[in-house]
Structure 1
């Protein structure tokens, strides 16, 4: 039996009823697939008779040797990063396809798939625009980590996380969609609340588009300024020489794109909780792991920026990392344009003075 027997909405979010009983299928599924390859009808039967969350997990695990092998052969450890914006949508396509073949209502899953396709389009476009698919391109953060911990430790990291757990992570953030699939059997139609969640997800995708475009516009203007020494229209010389963007959404959040990205998966999780009538459930482990990835990687990015740009430390003090600061002095563009270097010197002086006083 591919799907659990559920009688209430809360049953849809119960780990012991909806996930644990199907774990044995994890080992049987690859074997059955290989045995059925010559026969399309048999393949479909294996596919629909396997719980969809388990077959999704099996696929994420099957990618381990692919990512590891490619990273070790090419020396490029950004293999998972390259498909970061694609894999979650593949899992959503999988849920939508499975539901159709199994005769399960698809309205809610279709709504998730709509937002997910928009999300993938945005990430894929930005990755391509930055030249991410060029041969040899690698996320600089992996290079920094490799340099810090050394090759042997980094090999271990690649085995247990970079090429493995990251793949499972991208499956796990889509787990709330499985709950939505289950609740569809009890309530097939999209409710106004379901449509509101869909609208929120699409709005957050739009916010990531806006933040990325503002960042792209700034760096395009900065590149032009560096080549011609002429300040592009709509910008000031101080903004160009500062080296990092402080306009638009970036005036209120140091990483508005990351904030929107995390909010997307929190919203999907909240949707699953609402549909199942639970305040929290086991699918939260996926989104929590996703948030921890950002919590761990963002300081590496900021460490590089603070080392390159003198005013970045002031920016860190006045602007929230993800969420805008509600108290204290925010970013003042006019002030920083008049006395940017002076403000930086004051901040650095306070920092060094505080350390001396503490040490004494």
Structure 2
């Protein structure tokens, strides 16, 4: 019997990609089937926190895996893989795995406390999109983007670790230490942003400040803050989405590990940029976050038209260093005090005047 076309296609995949590709496709199919059965399309959202870590762990721990899987989903490394890759661990890949594991712990904790692991929970944005477009178009979106494209993006986030594993450095370089420090600062900053948002939403819902809040989130919210409807203090006074900015920055940093390593191929005089391909996963992720943020902000504008419009004029979408520039432009236009009053509250404006 002639082999199936799919078998030929699968054999054409590079050996170090075969298990991750198989795992990705089955996860995408499972997410779509479960979304149809449950009527809930947030199946991928619930595993978003784990999948990049699984792909990263696969490459960082290559010497650990057998040549043949004892179970259907068990990781394995085909015998055709370069023996050097399975004889010793790559210190750079292990470092990247450690950072991604810390990232996973932060995201898992924030997802858990928000109740998003509840199987009945669905991202509010999907419900809004479901009302805005025809049913058939939403199902196409569910199949292509929600189930499959998002799973592919999560798979791509593990590929820089594959490059690091192939580089096989004898020891870590200066760039590794610098990038690791930046990644830890980035995770800590995102954790603060998460805590500030959670603290605000709790106060907005209950009118009571949480006890024993995390450092960085001990902000004395006021009734004016709750009335405004969205957070504009703490890190959120510098960026409209500091958590999203840190999330994108983290994966750019992870993607830079193999690119800035001494073992990385350098650009040629002819301008060949093929060595920049490890940046592809972070660029795809940034594109996803940008489009998703535009949709999220359109929802916020519909709920708080005047206040959120002023917030967009005063505070940068992502990059906090641009916010003072927006403030200067408003100052030159003679509108800064008025916008500050809407965005930060009357009490903030009065406080600035007395200083």
1:143 aligns with 127
- C-alpha distance in 1 between matches for 2:107 and 2:59: 21
Alignment pair present for 1:194 and 2:176:
yes
- Structure 1 position 100, deviation (Å): 4.2
Alpha-carbon spacing, 1:107–1:226, altered in 2? closer, same or farther (3 Å): closer
Q: Do the aligned partners of 1:70 and 1:79 also contact (CA within 8 Å) in 2?
A: yes
1:9 aligns with none
2:325 aligns with 327
Secondary structure, aligned partner of 1:164:
helix
TM-score, structure 1 normalization: 0.75
Q: Do the aligned partners of 1:77 and 1:142 also contact (CA within 8 Å) in 2?
A: yes
Alignment pair present for 1:338 and 2:346:
yes
Alignment pair present for 1:163 and 2:159:
no
1:42 aligns with none
2:49 aligns with 85
**Match runs of 1:152-231 below 5 Å:** 152-184=136-168, 187-225=169-207
- C-alpha distance in 2 between matches for 1:304 and 1:261: 21
- Structure 1 position 235, deviation (Å): 2.5
Question: Which stretch shows the higher mean deviation, 301-310 or 201-210?
Answer: 301-310
Per-residue CA deviation, residues 131-174 of structure 1 (Å, 9 max, x unaligned), is 11223211111222222221111111222221112111101122
Q: Of 232, 246, 254, which aligns to 1:260? A: 246
Give every structure 1 segment of 4 or more consecutive aligned residues whose post-TM-superposition deviation is greater than 3 Å: 23-26, 277-280, 330-336
Alpha-carbon spacing, 1:266–1:26, altered in 2? closer, same or farther (3 Å): farther
1:298 aligns with 293
- Structure 1 position 111, deviation (Å): 0.5
1:36 aligns with none
How many residue pairs get aligned? The number is 293
- C-alpha distance in 2 between matches for 1:218 and 1:169: 31
Per-residue CA deviation, residues 30-89 of structure 1 (Å, 9 max, x unaligned), is 9xxxxxxxxxxxxxxxxxxx7323321221112122111100000111111111111000
**Match runs of 1:32-47 below 5 Å:** none
Alignment pair present for 1:311 and 2:317:
no
TM-score, structure 2 normalization: 0.76
Q: Do the aligned partners of 1:29 and 1:55 also contact (CA within 8 Å) in 2?
A: no
Alignment pair present for 1:237 and 2:223:
yes
Q: Do the aligned partners of 1:80 and 1:163 also contact (CA within 8 Å) in 2?
A: yes
- C-alpha distance in 2 between matches for 1:311 and 1:189: 52
- Structure 1 position 96, deviation (Å): 2.1
- Structure 1 position 248, deviation (Å): 1.0
CA RMSD across the alignment: 2.7
Q: Do the aligned partners of 1:89 and 1:116 also contact (CA within 8 Å) in 2?
A: yes
Question: Which stretch shows the higher mean deviation, 97-106 or 302-311?
Answer: 97-106
Q: Do the aligned partners of 1:100 and 1:106 also contact (CA within 8 Å) in 2?
A: no
Per-residue CA deviation, residues 297-333 of structure 1 (Å, 9 max, x unaligned), is 1112111112222311100111011012241317879
2:102 aligns with 118
Structure 2: state its 5+ residue gaps: 1-5, 66-85, 210-217, 268-274, 329-335, 349-355
Q: Do the aligned partners of 1:108 and 1:188 also contact (CA within 8 Å) in 2?
A: no
- C-alpha distance in 2 between matches for 1:93 and 1:233: 37
Question: Which stretch shows the higher mean deviation, 198-207 or 81-90?
Answer: 198-207
Alignment pair present for 1:284 and 2:292:
no
